Amino acid sequence: MHIMLLYRTFIICFALLITSCSTTSSSTTFTSLEEGIYLERVFPELSRTNIVYMEPAPGIPDKLFLAVKTGEIIIIDTATTTVRETEFLDISKKVNSAGNEEGLLGFTFDNQFMDNRFFYVYYSASNPRRSVISRFTAEADNLLKAIPGSEKILLEVEQPYSNHNGGHLQFGLDGFLYIGLGDGGSAGDPLNNGQNPSTLLGSILRVNVHPENADTSYTVPLDNPFANSVEGFRGEIWAYGLRNPWKFSFDSELGTLWAADVGQNKYEEINLIVRGGNYGWNEMEGSSCYNNFWEIIQNEDCPKEEFVQPIFTYPHDSGNCSVTGGYIYRGSQIEYLRGLYIYADFCSGRIWALKHDSKGKSVNTLLIDSGLPISSFAKDSKNELYVISYEGALYRMTLTS
């Protein structure tokens, strides 16, 4: 019993993929098991750790912006031979990063950033404990510097516990902002938020942050599944029944929405998110019925037909325990990966490529067994993929010479 308790404590430590329990390998390259693909370490002089996300700004192709969990967004100049870290935004005094799964967890740029200078952040705050989604503005004469006092809070969501905060933000091809929220935390979703669409927790939201009335923070798109609910369901919800979506992404060609949902006892899952979809948590974990936090043998007596099934799951074995979502590869440098979904497990550092066809068949291939604590994937302005180690190392996915 004590061994199981220690094991479960270890798993909880990794529940959202942000922790300091793993160790970054001293190697600078990790060779693929498939097609000569490997990870090349880039910007080795980077001094920051606790990096949880990275993306370029529209119209500024030679800069990469990195989110640091403690509350900063920094810039790397890719045109220089040595890394130059400059500060874009520092809101560390606002951010509660005390918990392993709290902090500045995500950001994204407005598609019209070059014109309106807007970008959006997701961070944890305290007193009371809550998640905050805000809009900030960059300086008019310097788009590489944000105005800390420009914050406009769009949405605040009370968080009952310190874990399962989700935290990712992304614009869809439809121009609406999508926001990932976990179930509110603890183990096993004791408040049953996942199956309660009257709360925003356990959901992916979809909102219009460009309302006609500039004084309005956001509006609910009329085609959201619960936009006109008479049952008290939240109109912002696009899909629900999620435990802790840690990174989601849109296929830049097809517009499909891919999300990785961190599991509880046994399974990690990859989902294709559809309008109004209920993904089963906490009735289900992966493709299996879920009973409670401590139950090892699952009772297969739940209404599976009521839920959208994951397109792929993998078990907690061989060091796996927490999925990190990635991207459909649409770059030009690695032909073998084109059209495949690239994702990883934070605990084991394994990176896979998932092929999912129109008939619903999925084929999963192990690409690289890196051993890295992978907190996020990222794309540059050319759609080439990067891998982010939580301990502060960046890697570009490339071909061996």
How long a stretch of residues is the chain? 401
CB proximity list for 167: less than 8 A, separation 6 or greater? 52, 105, 106, 122, 131, 180, 246
Q: What backbone torsions phi and psi does residue 3 show, to the nearest 5 degrees?
A: -65, -45
Average the pLDDT over each of 10-19, 194-203, 253-262 and give the range with the smallest value.
10-19
Residue 77 lies in a domain: yes
CATH number for position 234: 2.120.10.30
Q: What is the pTM of this model?
A: 0.91
Q: CB–CB of 362/311 below 8 Å?
A: yes
Residue 130 lies in a domain: yes
Q: CA geometry: angle at 222 spanning 137 and 309, to 5°?
A: 95
Confidence of residue 152 (pLDDT cuts 50, 70, 90): very high
Q: What is the pLDDT of residues 102-114, one digit of tens each?
A: 999 999 999 999 9
Q: CB–CB of 388/377 below 8 Å?
A: yes
Counting residues of the chain whose pLDDT is more than 70, the rounded percentage is 89
Residue 334 lies in a domain: no
Residue 267 lies in a domain: yes
Q: What is the pLDDT of residues 52-103, one digit of tens each?
A: 999 999 999 999 999 999 999 999 998 876 777 899 999 999 999 998 899 9
Domain count, the chain: 1
Residue 368 lies in a domain: no
Confidence of residue 300 (pLDDT cuts 50, 70, 90): confident
Residue 266 lies in a domain: yes
Instruction: Please name which of 350, 345, 393, 352 lies closest in space to residue 370, comparing C-alpha atoms.
Output: 350
Residue 381 lies in a domain: no
DSSP 185: S
Residue 395 lies in a domain: no
Query: What 3-state class would DSSP assign to 9?
Result: helix
Given this model, what pLDDT does residue 299 score?
64
Identify the domain containing residue 13 by its residue range. 2-17+48-325
pLDDT at position 318 over 80:
yes
- Paired with 204 in beta bridges are 180, 239
